[in-house]
Amino acid sequence: MKKFVVLLAIAAMSCFALAASAADVTIQLASAFEPTHILSQSAQKFKELVEEKSGGAITVELFLGGVMGSEEECTESVSIGAVQMQAGGGLPIKTYAPEYYFLDSPYVIRDWEHFQNVFYNSPIGKKAQELIATNGNTVYLGVVYRGARQFTSNKPIKTPADLQGIKLRLPQLPTWIAVWKAVGALPVPVALTELFSALQTGVADASEGDVSQIHSFHLDEVQKYLSMTNHLVQTGALTINKTFLESLTAEQQAIIKEAGKEAADWGSQKIIDGEAELIADLKAKGMEVVIPDADAFREKAKPAVEQLFKEQWPVATWEEVLSY
């Protein structure tokens, strides 16, 4: 895959210099997510919008469902110009601006509105985007809200005390593991593809994820309770290779940026409108919704979060992030 990516990059970069003078522009947009996923749907919406706004002068070729590789490979491909765009998750931040990874970590961001304020409107978010552009040759066109992450279990989780002895399935992300340990859970790193079986067999007692994940993995079949912890704002993004974008005319750049933001906003609204419906369906299938003491969880997480800001995210403080 690496050789393939490098060959594509050489071919793509040789074309960038010609892009500005070319009458027509073709954008290759890859995603590791399946076509039905909201990020791939947002990519499809981008294609529709940019082709309409440009009168067909800009066309988009979609490569969805991992045909261009994993999310890590797609992130690298955009950086080196093997493909021009990606619809992906938070890897550009984690890879190219790791000191800003608090944007994708538990109990730091309050809600979707807060995320937008920090990422789009604050000096913190602007600096993060500058670093991603510098270190990763990658520009954000728009962020897609994928839903707030919630907690599933076979006992009601209302306070941190209820987490004692609970084996919580987590992705293999050290910052997430550190925070959940502090809150009181026993983290069990398990790949997402093994989530259902881990809960079914008792390898893990509980999980956390956005309601779309909980619903699509049919966790109602192996988990009784859905606790609305809202502990992390899950996002993705439409990103584009910086060199490619800057090689285009001002008019072409404007069309792409406008279409990217509109497509991301469209995807975000689709999730917002659908979250209540998914929760209702999970309830109909037997899950019981629990409203926990959110302040108690955040207070329990505070020492670990503040320590992570000191050790791994020294560009800001938690208090500063919460001020936006």
Residue ranges of domains in the chain, CATH in brackets: 2-145+235-269 (3.40.190.170), 150-232+277-313 (3.40.190.170)
CB 204 within 8 A of CB 167: yes
* pLDDT computed for residue 17 by the predictor: 43
Phi and psi, residue 58, nearest 5°: -115, 120
For residues 159 and 201, what is the distance between their CA atoms, to the nearest angstrom? Answer: 25
- A 10 A CB-CB count for 95 gives 17
Taking Cα atoms as reference points, which of 193, 233, 234 lies closest to residue 216?
A: 193
Token pair for 34: 């399946």
CB 240 within 8 A of CB 148: no
CB 162 within 8 A of CB 155: yes
* pLDDT computed for residue 268 by the predictor: 97
* pLDDT computed for residue 18 by the predictor: 43
Higher pLDDT, 177 or 15: 177
**Is residue 5 over pLDDT 70?**
no
CB 304 within 8 A of CB 178: yes
The pTM of this model reads: 0.87
For residues 107 and 88, what is the distance between their CA atoms, to the nearest angstrom? Answer: 22
pLDDT band at 22; cut points 50, 70, 90: very low
Token pair for 3: 């050789």
* pLDDT computed for residue 191 by the predictor: 86
Q: Encode pLDDT of 204-262 as tens digits.
A: 999 999 998 899 889 999 999 999 999 999 999 999 999 999 999 999 999 999 999 99
**Is residue 15 over pLDDT 60?**
no
* pLDDT computed for residue 72 by the predictor: 93
